[in-house]
Chain A
Amino acid sequence: MTVDAPARFSPLADWQEAFGRLPAGFQVRELPFLTQLTLRVSADSPAAKAVESVLGIRLPSASRAELSEEVKALWLGPDEWLLVAPADTGAELVGRLRSAIGEEFATVTDVSAQRTVLSLRGGLTREILARGCALDLDPRVAPVGACYTTLLAQTGITLVVRAEAAASVWLLVRSSFAPYAAAWLVDAATEYGGGAG
């Protein structure tokens, strides 16, 4: 009996076709397999400074994300950040961070399989999200770099505003909830045309 090598598959691999039939003002794309690390560290501690020097960024304050470098940092809680890096860089990044932290107190954990990332783009994005998300995404309230962990249609998500007026948004959703979130997005976009219905 042969044992197949374990194949990696993304939770939304089956949804590409449905995403392709969305209306023109709303594009959804999965960014599969991004490296995601949970960083637990006290802000402004020596360990936090060590992490910041490795990443070349300041860890963002509450409800903000730092998107300027290759490794994005998303605020999840007062002593908790999610680091999002390109695929297959996890082991190397964890090693670099842990050696920089040294004997100081912080934890870095690879949680790449926990969530998948959806990239939402287009002028309809804010209106469609408003159908299931109570947060105000008006640019005066949620500028570029805003990062909220909240509910979208009762599913826990982390939402990152990547362009003015939420014309580009990242949704980080738990892998097991991702098909539901995708179904909800496709359904919410139905009335705006396209062939999604």
Chain B
Amino acid sequence: MQLIACPWCGEREEAEFHYGGQAHVPYPAKPADLDDEQWAQYVFFRDNPKGPFAERWMHAAGCRRWFDALRDTATHQFLSVHRMGEEPRA
């Protein structure tokens, strides 16, 4: 099983983690000004790159903290992990 390095707990089995989708998706600055299509873009549409992708993960069976990870979607290899609020990004 693939090991994921939780920024707090160290390397643990993949089964202990939950996936949280794309990281760094900003909430709209003026939500009231958005039309339906812009809302749909914010709520439903995400990048789907082949290669490095900044994602949110949570160590559900351990410290229960969310963190950011940079993962290669083609190889499933984790390139780096960061605590919430820490840089760097992709």
Which A residues contact B (CB, under 8 angstroms)? Answer: 62-63, 76-78, 80, 134-135, 148-151, 154, 156
Contacts and interface: CB of A to CB of B under 8 A. Distances in A.
A139 to B, nearest CB: 17
Contacts of A150: 12, 16, 61-62
Nearest to A141: B10
Contacts of A63: 9-10
B65 A149 contact: no
The 8 closest A-B pairs by CB, nearest first: A77-B63, A134-B13, A149-B62, A151-B61, A62-B8, A156-B61, A78-B8, A77-B65
B13 A149 contact: no
Nearest to B3: A134
Given A76-B63, A76-B64, A78-B65, 15 more contacts: A62-B8, A62-B9, A63-B9, A63-B10, A77-B63, A77-B65, A78-B63, A80-B63, A134-B1, A134-B13, A148-B9, A149-B62, A150-B12, A150-B61, A151-B16
Contacts, number: 35
Contacts of A134: 1, 12-13
A65 B61 CA distance: 18
Contacts of B65: 77-78
B79 interface: no
B64 A77 contact: yes
Contact of B13 (A76, A80, A151): A151
Contacts of A149: 9, 61-63
A78 B9 CA distance: 10
B12 A77 contact: no
A129 B80 CA distance: 30
Interface of B: 1, 8-10, 12-13, 15-16, 61-65
A153 to B, nearest CB: 12
30 contacts: A62-B8, A62-B9, A62-B63, A63-B9, A63-B10, A76-B63, A76-B64, A77-B8, A77-B63, A77-B64, A77-B65, A78-B8, A78-B63, A78-B65, A134-B12, A134-B13, A148-B62, A149-B9, A149-B61, A149-B62, A149-B63, A150-B12, A150-B16, A150-B61, A150-B62, A151-B13, A151-B16, A151-B61, A154-B15, A156-B61
Contact of A151 (B8, B10, B15, B63): B15
- Which of B13, B62, B64, B65 has the most chain A CB atoms closer than 10 A to its own CB? B62
Contacts of B12: 134-135, 150
Contacts of B62: 148-150
A63 B9 CA distance: 6
Contacts of B10: 63
